[in-house]
Amino acid sequence: MDKNSKAVSTRRRMFRKFQCSCSRSRVSFVFVTFLALCFLLGSYLQIRDDSESEKAHLNYAGAKYAQRTFLEPLTKTIVQETGLGQVEKEVQGILKEHGHALANDEPESLSNIAKEQPEQELTLKRLLAAEKCPACFGESLCEQANSGLITVDVANRKLEHKGVYFGRFRDIDIVAKRLARTPNWKQLDEFICQNASMSGHCDVSKMISKTILVTDDALKLSWLRDAWRIAHKDEQIAFESCMTVKHIEELKKVYDQNADGQSSKTEQAYMMTSLLLNPEAAVLNYFASRRDREWPFPKYLGACGRVIFVENGGKLLDVSLESPWKQRANLAVQLLDMIDTFRNGDPDWIVMFLDFRYENFAVDQYGRLKLIDFDGVVLIDREDSDGEENKERYNMEGFKGFLSEIEKDGRCMQVTRYSQMMYALACVRLLSYLPEHRLKSGEHHRSKNYVRPPGLLWGPPEHESKAIEALLRGCVEEKVVGGRLNTVQELKALLRQNVK
């Protein structure tokens, strides 16, 4: 083969290689472009689905909070006839099927959303949101949280919809509580920005110092009594409804962190945030500052950002439904004694609590009963109450009317006479097992036919049953003036005899 033929052959081979190379490049380019398009499409769908999931979460949260009003225990119930012979089976069946109250309250739809579209991983830093301070509950435990002394199981989302997380602080079990839902915090943030004359989103940590919340105007009773609407849209009887000047002065002392007798803008921002979002932070903080007596509340430890930390109160009260009779009788006595303390245990205040449900009480490792949820708490200034009692019979119908008008015409003054209705609510919702007191309600349960578990006093000793049944009826429905208070004392005396 001559040189020209060899050259032609070489050029042909090189051209074929070039063609193959170009073909592979084109294939690679098309493949990479296809992958890129798939990635962009997938990202768009993910963003759209996440947005829809978040909307579903917020809609549920808003509806859930709106349904929890002060009157709920009284207005959303109907009577269900139930055979007494089924009580023991019902206790075991309800506990087995539903577990304790906080766990079975988890909405199925929200759980499915979480499984299908996992949200961004929650961390303790994100939970605390301390960067929002002083538009927060406080910062007294932020150093401990940042240094690792406080650990919180944020990965356990079983109770996330309740804003409750369990953890450890040094050598004690604790509970971290958000106390308000994302929509409520968002409402507060929007108010801060608008009141600071900022449009859209703003840095609330800086802007809150430019709002009415840190001025003397915010401490006026006329402003405070309606201020809860800043963070809540639903109708409710709020902690602020019955506030007095003494309330304000006592809370200012609690939040005076440097004890200089003055409220700085930062200190007042903490106090106002607590009052507007959930008074539990302020109530616990106040009672923790009083050393004159031990209150049946978990110990308040402090706050960091938009979370407060309290001691773990123990196992929820409904877990005790399977306990032996003597233990349940002892808890019943503690519950009635707790109400005694609310009514008469403090020279300055009457503690009015009406949300008697199993999930609002816990029993610690020593068998002590504690109130662990303060959504239904109102503090009444004893000096401003009328102090009258035993002037008439007090029962549910009249009590409902009183609650519906508590904010009008100074009716907060009359709480003293109605405070005995706490016994009636405790008996009908937590103690009684009688057919006429068995309440049926769809209280945010997955099961539309959810039935309240039998009360703590189910299955009494046979020789005591008739007496206990009569006393429970007298506790719920007062037949003669002063009859309920006498009945409660008799019931406690009888139960104490059985506890020995």
> What would the pLDDT profile of 44-83 be if each residue is shown by its tens digit?
444 444 444 333 333 333 333 333 333 343 433 323 333 4
Q: Per-residue pLDDT averaged across 432-442, rounded?
A: 72
Whole-number percent of the chain with pLDDT over 70: 68
Write the CATH number for 92: 1.10.510
Residue whose entry in the numeric block shows the structure tokens 């019955």? 242
pLDDT tier at 453 (50, 70, 90 boundaries)? confident
Among residues 438, 499, 413, 436, the alpha carbon closest in space to that of 464 is found at 499
For 370, phi then psi, to 5°, come to: -135, 145
Q: Is residue 382 part of a domain?
A: yes
| φ/ψ bin of 105: left (φ > 0), alpha (ψ from -120 to 50), beta (otherwise) | alpha
CA distances from 168 to 120, 131, 173, 271, 314 (A): 24, 23, 5, 26, 14
pLDDT in tens, 256-271: 988 888 899 999 999 9
Is residue 56 within 8 A of residue 183, CB to CB? The reply is no
Q: Which two tokens stand for residue 318?
A: 């409904």
To which H or E segment does residue 136 belong? none
More confident residue, 326 or 201: 326
Say if strands 307-311 and 172-177 run parallel, antiparallel, or are unpaired. antiparallel
- When divided into structural domains, the chain yields a total of 1
Among residues 392, 452, 381, the alpha carbon closest in space to that of 421 is found at 392
Select, from the ranges 6-15, 85-94, 188-197, 402-411, the one with the highest average predicted confidence (pLDDT): 188-197
Q: Is residue 469 part of a domain?
A: yes
Average predicted confidence (pLDDT) for the chain = 77
Q: Is residue 452 part of a domain?
A: yes
| φ/ψ bin of 151: left (φ > 0), alpha (ψ from -120 to 50), beta (otherwise) | beta
Helical spans, DSSP H, in 68-181: 72-75, 87-98, 101-104, 108-116, 124-128, 142-147
State the pLDDT at residue 312: 95
Give yes or no for a cis peptide into 134 (omega within 30° of 0). yes
pLDDT in tens, 295-315: 899 999 999 999 999 999 999
| φ/ψ bin of 38: left (φ > 0), alpha (ψ from -120 to 50), beta (otherwise) | alpha
Q: Which of 27-31, 59-63, 71-75, 484-488 has the lowest mean pLDDT?
A: 59-63
Whole-number percent of the chain with pLDDT over 90: 44
Tell me: pLDDT of 215 over 90. yes
State the pLDDT at residue 50: 42
Tell me: pLDDT of 404 over 60. yes
More confident residue, 317 or 449: 317
Q: Is residue 255 part of a domain?
A: no
| 276 Cβ contact partners less than 8 Å away, ≥ 6 residues apart | 188, 213, 227, 228, 230, 231
Domain enclosing residue 81, as ranges: 73-109+315-499
Q: Per-residue pLDDT averaged across 218-240, rounded?
A: 79
Q: Is residue 488 part of a domain?
A: yes
Tell me: pLDDT of 27 over 60. no
| 323 Cβ contact partners less than 8 Å away, ≥ 6 residues apart | 331
Q: Is residue 99 part of a domain?
A: yes
State the pLDDT at residue 168: 96
Tell me: pLDDT of 6 over 60. no
Q: Is residue 207 part of a domain?
A: no
Q: Which of 74-88, 347-361, 392-406, 453-467 has the lowest mean pLDDT?
A: 74-88
pLDDT tier at 411 (50, 70, 90 boundaries)? low
> Strand, coil or helix: what is 388?
coil
Q: Is residue 239 part of a domain?
A: no
Question: How is 322-344 classified by DSSP, letter by letter?
Answer: GS-HHHHHHHHHHHHHHHHHHHH
